[in-house]
Structures are given as C-alpha cells and as structure tokens.
Structure 1
Amino acid sequence: MHWLEDEVSKLREGVNIQLIQLQEENSQLQQQLSDAQKKLQQAHRELINDCANENSTLRNRVKNLQLQINLLPQQMMHHAQQLLGMFQPAWGRGTMPHQSNEC
C-alpha cells in the first residue's frame, strides 16, 4: 500500500510539473500574442496614416492640375497677344520698312 501511495505521489508531482510548465508556456504564448497584436495595431495605424497622407498629396496634385488647366486658356491668350504684339507695331503705325527707289 505504501508503494502505491509513493507512485501516486510521484504521478501527482509529475502532473504538477507538467501543469506548471504548460502554464508558463501559456503565459509566454499569451505575451507573444499580446505583443503581436500591439505590433499589428501599430502597423494598422501607420498604414492608415500613410494612406491619409498619400490621399492628401494626391488631392493637392489634382487641385494643382485643375488650377493649371483653368489657367491654360489665359496663358495661351497671353502668349498669343505677345506673339501678335511683336508684329503689331509695324502694322499699327502703318509704317513699312523703307524701300529704296535707287537703282
């Protein structure tokens, strides 16, 4: 009978050791899971921030392009007036370069 009690005691001790090891492993795994979740949340926040920044940059580019498109007719008109202005003084004054009648 004493031998059986010793065996039961050894088995309980073995089970308790395994239980403690499993609890420690569980604790480590829970910590790793918690760390991984924190990293995932941080990566998610960074991704959202990067997307927001990229969207803002793209919106600004679109606004700049729209402004350039809106200003393009005015710029074309201005350049056309400058080109016409190069020729206008001679036409506007009615003067032509002097032609020599000498032979």
Structure 2
Amino acid sequence: MSQEIAVVGSADFTTGFRLAGVRRFENVQEDEKADELDGAVETVLDDDGVGIVVMADDDVSHLSRGVRQRVETSVEPVVVTIGSGTGGSGLREQIKRAIGIDLMEDE
C-alpha cells in the first residue's frame, strides 16, 4: 500500500513540506519550469511508494496536456493542489476522487 507523500514544485514551495518531515520531493527550477515539471510529476506518479502528491495549483497550468489530464484523473496516487485556484468545489472534488464518495451532500 502506498504510504509516502511527495511534493513537486519550486524550492520555495517544497521547503516548508521538507521541514515538516516530507522526505520525497522533486524541486523544479522556476526559470525551467515548463521543461522540468512534466518529468518531475511523471516520476512521482510512477513511484509505487507514493500515495499522495502535493503541488501548487498554479503549476498545473504549466503541465503538458497529457500530464495534466493524468494529474486530474489520478486516483492512486491522489494529487492534491494547494493555492489560489483551490476553492471549496476544487477541494471537494479532490476529496471525492481520493475516497470515492461525496461526503458533503447538496442541500
């Protein structure tokens, strides 16, 4: 069973997670983001030991179409994005994808 959390993004983004104890991370240089991000994301998605991938919401827009689709539909590992674009409905969809059911029924 996948247990490890992986973080993908700039050094500034990954540093806080590393200080909190996350050992699996992929740093992507800010000026080479378009070139490196796809490879870094695919590396952690293909790692059987990774159960959760954390990345900045803004970084998703830098992914190629194929990798972005894989991120958006991945069930294991679950990809969680953090940032300005992750609102209530975005988080709700991530939780639904992670556990398979919608815990918050519409009223």
Structure with the bigger RCO (C-alpha within 8 Å, sep 6+) is 2
More strand by proportion, 1 or 2? 2
Q: TM-score range by the shorter chain?
A: under 0.3
| Larger Cα-atom Rg | 1
More helix by proportion, 1 or 2? 1
Length-normalised TM-score, structure 1: 0.18
Length-normalised TM-score, structure 2: 0.17
